[in-house]
Amino acid sequence: MITVLSGGTGTPKLIQGIKEIYPEEEINVIVNTVENNYFSGVYVAADIDTVLYTFSNLINDETWYGIKDDTFITNERLAEIGTPELLRIGDQDRATKIQKTLLLKEHTLSEAVDIQRKNLGIKAKIIPMSDEHSEIKIETEEYGDIEFHDFLIKYQGQPTVTKVKYSEVNPSPDIIKIIQDSDKVIIGPSNPITSILPIISLKGVSEELENKKVIAVSPFIGTSPVSGPAGKFMSASGYETSSIGVAKIYESFLDTLIIDSSDDKMIEEIEKIIPNVIAANTIMKTINDKKELAKLVLNSD
């Protein structure tokens, strides 16, 4: 059994490869929740929904958000009548979010997600990192503290980031035992600061990871992230914006870091931080790329 720590973009690409070559019923995915919030009256857990859609082959893998071939009738009508949405939510995707919102009236987030993954025929276990409401703020030079989604969408990731802040929450009930029972823990190439660090900062998680084989895939090539504002967040948090910085974040428990083959010159420096570094193709453009990287991750110690 394996456990994957996931955010909403890079790691689901890797999950696409893993689920093709590894028994789905033996996969656990612990998903970041600090970005969850209410938008347009519905509870939006974007990273969780992306993982749900990835396993059920519904994901829009051009945007890594929402459902492929979705329509946007409600979104467009809201704009027409003077209530434009901050998030562009598709109609089918909105149904998932409405259902989750209704389920949360009687269930915890973990229970609601479990109901949804069963309804989608998913055999893998998908676990929110916490059932408690958590908040994330981006401290900027230009605007002070702003909401995470405002930073990404309203301001297009342009402000200068000085600090990333998120609230402390308790882990969801099954997380520690799931990690204990896993043969290997995989940290996908998600944003280390806003997607993975909130998970490993949960009470008891990093201590359990020290007792496990942990393999991570770096989301950096050179000094640039493959996608998103990870570089800004890393720098604001005091880490080098490269795979060296990623190794520093995970150094207390990480056994192997997989970096892109173009960064093989960094191997010697990274091996001063963690025991093992592998250089390989980490750009997952095709399903074959994803399967090959998944094989490497699953076979690494």
Per-residue confidence (pLDDT) for residue 148, from 0 to 100: 86
> Are β-strands 161-166 and 125-128 bridged in parallel, bridged antiparallel, or unpaired?
unpaired
pTM for the model: 0.94
**At residue 90, does pLDDT exceed 90?**
yes
**At residue 228, does pLDDT exceed 80?**
no
Higher-confidence residue of 118 and 144: namely 118
Higher-confidence residue of 230 and 137: namely 137
Rg (CA), the chain: 18
**At residue 227, does pLDDT exceed 80?**
no
> Which segments of the chain are extended strands (E)?
2-6, 27-31, 37-39, 42-44, 125-128, 136-140, 144-147, 161-166, 184-187, 214-217, 220-221, 224-225, 256-260, 276-280
Per-residue confidence (pLDDT) for residue 284, from 0 to 100: 93
Q: What whole-number distance in Å separates Cα of residue 224 and Cα of residue 220?
A: 6
